[in-house]
Structure 1
């Protein structure tokens, strides 16, 4: 079978699936955007030992996309990416295309190409773009934002109805998609367990950055202003007089600019700011943490699970999570005893939770997190379920 997986974001677990399917003897083209920033990506180039049938292709527009410019993204960037992605699909001639984390205009172009060339299209729903647009754009542009949001939601519903199969990341999604005639399967997200092995607390990466002998809170991932970076400032301030505690932030973009200014203004020597690290170093990065920190913006979708939270679960470290309480990530962490969860707007509660975790026994949180990952992130079983989806979509597997 010839398979295209179009994962716009380039997350680690989607490319793991592509490699695994290629290892089963399928020909797999993995397409992603190489023009986005602020999103940690997986191992998207060929690695030693990769299956012969695995190919990865980054779509470059020749510049970095500015996600804050809605009209430019929708009317220019997405159109350019769609044309280049369709070129790759045309070259590869797949039996099935599965798209995840993909803007709607790009999805529409891929779906139309599949229809014209007798290939199947699987919509892998990571979040509801239309619903998010309707919520975020409401009240903007003199009332036109609500119209634009409603249009995006209707657009998404049309694409879902025209798909040959749909994959949802949570059962609760079913109530938020239109009635469709195609198969709908729920497959929860995961992290590539074998790429996140347990490492020693003292390791070369931690020693290189002066973190081998300190107690460390580590945040790694996208950080915009909407993620409330004051939460991280609050932790640094709370432990400013504790000589062996560090608040480490690994990111880039507006949130990091804000933290750089706050560090200088408040003299926060314990606030360690680093750029994104190589994917190969992530196991050591996470092992260096005593507590791993994640933040989800207050208006995030109920079912959105940041990929970093899934990676954190593999690391065997306690997780301090600031997310809306109804979010799926909050339920995973809380129900499995993998850490503590507070609202993303409550700095005092976040700081109090940080103090409580660091003062307590962290090993229980870490063991629970790793146990959940080992129980849930079985790529053999996960890949078999995707192959079943392709079969139900009408592909000869």
Structure 2
């Protein structure tokens, strides 16, 4: 089977699917953007990668500007044009595309329909519904109309797709009525268990950052202003009462700049900011933490499942989440007692929970064991690949 997997964000977990498919003898093209500022996985070719795996980076002349809606859309459309050309040249038997801006997703589907290629829409988030909320807030008067345009576009794309793969059962009631129930398949996201082992607190990355000693809280991942980065600032401020404790924030863009500025304003010597770290160091980065933190915007609801949280679970550390309680990540962490979950708008609760963990090493360690146990039970790439192959064969059978 010739399979093209497109993951705009270039996440680590999607590349593990492409590699496992290639190891099973399928011809695989794994396509991603290298112009979008976000933590990315091991998307470079490795010595043990089979010859039947192509890792194809779409690099634009300029990075995609997240802060400018017009420039961002132009970049996403250009990515769509270039990635469509890759599909045209690779001539796959099917295309699975996720984490993809809707303008680009429409280009892919248009080409696949013309070429008779089954197209599978991998739904990581309902972008159209999110666009209505976000654009109404960011662009007064016309923002809601633009958002509804993208919501309508997304609904049409979902209805036209041969199969729709969602990451949670929570998505089913929110899909358009035109998507037949038999064409909806659920595959929950995962993390790269084999490449994020439980590392000792004292490791090479911790030593390089001066973090081998003292309580350490780590945030690693995308951080926008919508995530309320002030939560991390207030956590660091409160941890000043704990000798040697520190907060390390690893990200990029406006959110990281905000945290760095606030650290300077408040003279928080225990708050350190760093750019995104290489994927090869991720397990050491996460292993440096006593507590791993994640934040999700209040209106994310049930849909968006931060990939950073799934990686955190692999690391075997206690989690502190500021996410809506109905979100799947919140339900996993709370249900498996892998950490503490608080509402993203409640700064006081976030800080209070963080201080509770600071005072209870036994509780942190038990949460870490629970987190790793969940990851080992759930993130088996062989089983996940079996499930995707069943979906692929069903799509081709039609």
Q: Under a length normalisation based on structure 2, what TM-score does the superposition of the two structures give? A: 0.96
1:254 to partner: Cα distance: 0.8
* More displaced 10-residue stretch of structure 1: 134-143 or 322-331: 134-143
Residue in structure 2 matching 1:385, options 360, 384, 387: 387
CA contact (8 A) 2:321 2:339 kept: yes
SS in 1 for 2:298: coil
Q: CA separation in 2, counterparts of 1:165 and 1:142?
A: 36
1:4 alignment partner in structure 2: 4
Shift of 1:66: 1.1
Distance 1:267 1:140, change over 3 A: closer
Structure 2, unaligned runs of 5 or more: none
Residue 50 and residue 298 in structure 1: after superposition, are their counterparts in 2 closer, same or farther (change >3 A)? same
Aligned to 1:193: 193
Per-residue CA distance 1:58-105 (angstroms, 9 max, x = gap): 11111111122223333x222211110011111111001110000111
Does the alignment pair 1:371 with 2:370?
Answer: no
Separation (CA, whole Å) in 1 of partners of 2:204 and 2:141? 54
CA distance in 1, matches of 2:166, 2:184: 7
C-alpha distance in 1, partners of 2:63/2:301? 25
The equivalent position to 1:177 in structure 2, one of 164, 175, 178, is 175
**In structure 1, what is the equivalent of residue 295 of structure 2?**
295
Contact preservation (8 Å) 1:183, 1:392:
no
Aligned length: 394
Aligned: 1:47 with 2:49: no
Partners of 2:310 and 2:210 lie apart in 1 by 26
Match of 1:61 in 2: 60
d(CA) in 2 for partners of 1:154, 1:288: 45
Which secondary structure does the structure 2 equivalent of 1:356 belong to?
helix
Q: Does the 8 Å contact 2:64/2:76 carry over to 1? A: no
Structure 2 match to 1:79: 77
Q: Is the 8 A contact 2:170 2:302 kept in 1?
A: no
User: What residue in structure 2 maps to residue 133 of structure 1?
Assistant: 131
Q: Distance in 2 between matches of 1:31 and 1:232?
A: 34
Contact 1:96 1:395 in 2 (8 A): no
Distance in 2 (CA, whole Å) between partners of 1:290 and 1:48 is 34
Distance in 2 between residues matched to 1:291 and 1:26, nearest whole Å: 40
Unmatched runs of 5 consecutive residues or more in structure 1? none
What is residue 93 of structure 1 aligned with on the other side? Answer: 91
**TM-score in terms of structure 1 length:** 0.97
